[in-house]
Amino acid sequence: MRRLLCAAAALLIIIFSTFSVSAADNVTDKIADTEIITQALPDDAKKSLSDIGINSVDPKILSGISFTDIINELFKTSSEQLREPLAVLAAVVAAMLLYSLLYGLRSSVNSYSMQSVISLCTTLCIVCLTSVPVVSVINASVDTVGNVSRFMLAYLPVMVGVLSASGQAVSGSAYYSMVMLAAQGVTAMSSTVAAPLMQTLLGLGVSSAVNPMVNLSGILRTVTKLLKWIVGIVMTIFTAVLSLRQLVAVNLDGVSVRALRFALGSAVPVVGSALSEALRTVQGSVSLLKSGIGVFAIIAAAVIFLPVILRCLFWSAALKIALSVGEIIGLRESCVLLENISAVLSLLIAVLLSLAAVFIISTAALLLIGGGSG
């Protein structure tokens, strides 16, 4: 009888050894699959990540990120995005100063009626200088949202597979369904609704400034404020629902894993406790891989969003400075124009920050709330 039990124990050890090798191979396959994530990144994001020393989801590489490299990359990106707003700001201020000069000379030719003509010409010049670059900023924002969505669509299946391998199948399912819905919905809305709406608001702001008989500035500011509230409320609800689902899913996963460990520890003779501890070790290894993928996704999303957000911020600051100069000179129509464009840009910044927060916070919540499965 004793020989029979020993033989059974040896057989179980061999079987579990095979299972451990298979689990290790599965983890290796998942690491190989992570190349899909890096390939889904746009070229600019790949270069930025490479400059700060990130070229894979390996936790060892991610833990060795240098703060100096991050600051250098941030400074380089800021420098690149600051050039165009500074050049346009200089041109706008020059146009305002030229208006001030011509306005001061109007009395020498006894033509006070020239004031409105000079003011209109200056406003049209500022329209040409600012409207086209702002439209390109809107289009670049749409492209950025599309790049992030494509990256998330490549990242989600890999992350869900790792979650399932670590015993968090329910958490993976909840996370996949919500973030996939957000990625696909945002991609469709950005190109079909958000971009045309932003360009329409920009057109209304320009029309209101060029034609004093049509005062649409109040409507424009009201619409932008309302849209900001709507975006904030929708993103808050989405994040709250995702977090609550993750809390419930983590508890369900924890119960399942603990039940499996108890079954292994009590039902399997002789080596049950060893099997339970080995299962815990395998789950810990897979959880480490999950953390690496999640942190990589957070950094990658931030790197994709950062250039266009900085570009919008710099443009908003440049327009605010130009607005201050226009108020000093007394160029009312141009001030209305700059204020309206700033309102559109502030709405765009709010949308971009909300989207970045949703993708980043949802992944961070998955890592923090689902840090362990019991």
The 10s digit of each residue's pLDDT in 283-342 is 555 566 677 788 888 888 899 999 999 999 999 999 999 999 888 888 888 888 889 899
Instruction: Note whether 320 and 58 are within 8 A (CB).
Output: no
pLDDT score of 2 more than 60? no
How far is it, in rounded angstroms, from Cα 335 to Cα 327? 7
Task: Tell me which amino acid residue 219 is.
Answer: I
| pLDDT score for 228 | 86
Burial class of 149 by CB neighbour count within 10 A (0 to 12, 13 to 18, 19+): buried
222 confidence band (pLDDT: 50, 70, 90): confident
| Weakest mean pLDDT among 55-59, 65-69, 128-132 | 55-59
| pLDDT score for 204 | 84
pLDDT score of 74 more than 60? yes
The 10s digit of each residue's pLDDT in 111-161 is 556 667 777 788 888 888 888 899 999 999 989 988 888 888 888 888 777
| pLDDT score for 112 | 55
Task: Give the residue, 99 or 107, on which the prediction is more confident.
Answer: 99
Q: Which percentage of the chain shows pLDDT scores above 70? A: 72
| Weakest mean pLDDT among 83-87, 198-202, 305-309, 321-325 | 198-202
- State the average pLDDT over residues 225-239: 84
- State the average pLDDT over residues 70-88: 90
Single pTM value for the model: 0.80
| pLDDT score for 309 | 93
| HEC readout, the chain | CHHHHHHHHHHHHHHHHHHHHHHHHHHHHHHHHCHHHHHCCCHHHHHHHHHCCCCCCCHHHHHCCCHHHHHHHHHHHHHHHHHHHHHHHHHHHHHHHHHHHHHHHHHHHCCCCHHHHHHHHHHHHHHHHHHHHHHHHHHHHHHHHHHHHHHHHHHHHHHHHHHHHCCCHHHHHHHHHHHHHHHHHHHHHHHHHHHHHHHHHHHHHHHHHHCCCCCCHHHHHHHHHHHHHHHHHHHHHHHHHHHHHHHHHHHHHHHHHHHHHHHHHHHCCCCHHHHHHHHHHHHHHHHHHHHHHHHHHHHHHHHHHHHHHHHHHHHHHHHHHHHHHHHHHCCHHHHHHHHHHHHHHHHHHHHHHHHHHHHHHHHHHHHHHCCCCC
pLDDT score of 210 more than 50? yes
Q: Which percentage of the chain shows pLDDT scores above 90? A: 11
| pLDDT score for 107 | 57
| pLDDT score for 255 | 47
Task: Give the residue, 303 or 214, on which the prediction is more confident.
Answer: 303
Instruction: Note whether 141 and 356 are within 8 A (CB).
Output: no
pLDDT score of 368 more than 90? no
| pLDDT score for 369 | 64
Mean pLDDT score of the chain: 75
Token pair 């011509």 in the structure block, residue:
102
- State the average pLDDT over residues 38-54: 85
Q: Where are the domains of the chain?
A: 2-369
How far is it, in rounded angstroms, from Cα 204 to Cα 215? 9
Token pair 């039990």 in the structure block, residue:
5
Which residues neighbour 105 within 8 Å (Cβ) at sequence distance 6 or greater? none
pLDDT score of 364 more than 60? yes
Residues in the chain: 374
| Weakest mean pLDDT among 22-31, 49-58, 74-83, 155-164 | 22-31
